[in-house]
Amino acid sequence: MDNLSLDDQIHALLFVAESPVTPEDMAALLGTPQHAVEESLARLSRHFAVSGPVQLVRLAGGYQMATKPIFATLVAQFLQPQPQRMSRSLLEVLAVVAYQQPMTSHEIDQIRGVDSAYAIRQLVDRRLIGEVGRKSAPGRPILYGTTQHFLHVFQLNDLDDLPTIEGLDHPIRGDGEHLPLENHPEEASNAEPEGVS
């Protein structure tokens, strides 16, 4: 591969990647410094921005190629994706977990005022939330948090990219600890995002 440019090698990796690839992983695979990979990504991003139907997007801590939004209708007509609908209860639980994680199912129930077991199972099955540890409490209950797949579906690079909602009160978790709730992911689309492959 000595005669292949770094840009072409990275382009090839991104082309076949099914999920976002981090600069660290690309640097390790290619045996090149991470700063060189990041410079190459910047060049590719500039190139895609002015030419062709694809763009380089930053998602879930990595990079992925995606069709530009202007081609979304055409691609949707070709692929005919099934819409991914989420009920209000699933969105509520996802919002609570996204902004208050890590949380136990009991803590989620206390904030919502209803049993959330079904919604939690559904979100785990959809790989939007998952077990991130155990709470130091009797019974060692499971702590839930969002996943890399959650970041990918909602087109977020990390949790700091969650939208901010002004003027929300600060709910109290079951243990009495005040937790800031500044954002709410219900604003994000519950369908597959435009332009993401």
Q: What is the pLDDT of residues 34-93, one digit of tens each?
A: 999 999 999 999 999 988 899 898 887 889 888 888 888 888 888 887 777 888 889 899
pLDDT at res. 165:
60
Verdict on whether the full-model pTM lies above 0.95: no
pLDDT at res. 1:
58
CATH classification number, 88-187, choose in 3.40.50.720, 3.40.50.1370, 3.40.50.2300, 1.10.10.10:
1.10.10.10
How many residues comprise the chain? 197
pLDDT at res. 57:
87
Helix 34-50 × helix 23-30 angle, to 10°: 110
Bond before 193 cis per omega within 30 degrees? no
CATH classification number, 6-79, choose in 3.30.200.20, 1.10.510.10, 2.30.30.830, 1.10.10.10:
1.10.10.10
Task: Give percent above pLDDT 90 in the chain.
Answer: 38
